[in-house]
Amino acid sequence: MGKRPWWVLTVLPAIHILLIVLTIWLSARTPGATYYRIIGVDPQLGILLWISEGVMIPLSCLLVGTTCWLMVGMGWSIKQVTANTAARGVVINTLVGLFAVDLAVPVFRRDLANGLVSLGVGVQYVCIGFLCLGAFVSAAYSWKVGREQGRARQLTTRP
């Protein structure tokens, strides 16, 4: 298995940072803000919106959310892990992707029905889609590495 470049780890966090900056910009121009659209990719935001306002919301998204997406993206770059660790990566990354899709699709449909989709909002949803896709790609890479590690272990344990 070839070595993957280091920048692969930065793909999902970079998309997430772009999404947060765009959300901050849209929220400044929209009554009631636009953070509700990104709760699927920033689950901590749902709790934070209940108890806080102001600078803590975007700061939390940038720090906690981007770190979470860095961890999800690590599935793209793993090469040598145990089959159990790879299996955990498959499960966690698949659940992250499904959770994000499950929360984003109804919100998108509601925004579309209410005529709230502009260019900026469209870019917001495209970023959310790429993050969801990235979670599934990361799960697939984890699954591939886990299978390869399982095969390698079988070959070394056979008499």
Tens digit of each residue's pLDDT (9 = 90 or more) over 111-136:
999 999 999 999 999 999 999 999 99
**The total number of structural domains that make up the chain:** 1
What is the rounded CA–CA span in Å between residue 11 and residue 33?
26
Q: What are the backbone dihedrals phi and psi of residue 117, each rounded to the nearest 5 degrees, phi first?
A: -90, 110
pLDDT computed for residue 154 by the predictor: 61
pLDDT computed for residue 82 by the predictor: 72
Domain for residue 1, yes or no? no
pLDDT computed for residue 1 by the predictor: 44
pTM of the predicted model as reported, rounded to 2 decimal places:
0.86
55 has pLDDT over 90: no
Domain for residue 96, yes or no? yes
pLDDT computed for residue 141 by the predictor: 86
What is the rounded CA–CA span in Å between residue 12 and residue 77?
12
Out of 14-18, 33-37, 48-52, 75-79, give the one with best mean pLDDT: 14-18
Tens digit of each residue's pLDDT (9 = 90 or more) over 62-77:
888 898 898 888 877 6
149 has pLDDT over 90: no
2 has pLDDT over 70: no
Residue 68 belongs to what domain range? 6-157
* Diameter over CA atoms, the chain: 69
pLDDT computed for residue 120 by the predictor: 93
Domain for residue 117, yes or no? yes
Domain for residue 93, yes or no? yes
Domain for residue 60, yes or no? yes
Domain for residue 45, yes or no? yes
Domain for residue 136, yes or no? yes
3-state secondary structure of 39: coil
Domain for residue 68, yes or no? yes
Q: How buried is residue 155: exposed, middle or buried, by Cβ count under 10 Å (0-12/13-18/19+)? A: exposed
Tens digit of each residue's pLDDT (9 = 90 or more) over 9-29:
889 999 999 999 999 999 998
What is the rounded CA–CA span in Å between residue 140 and residue 143?
5
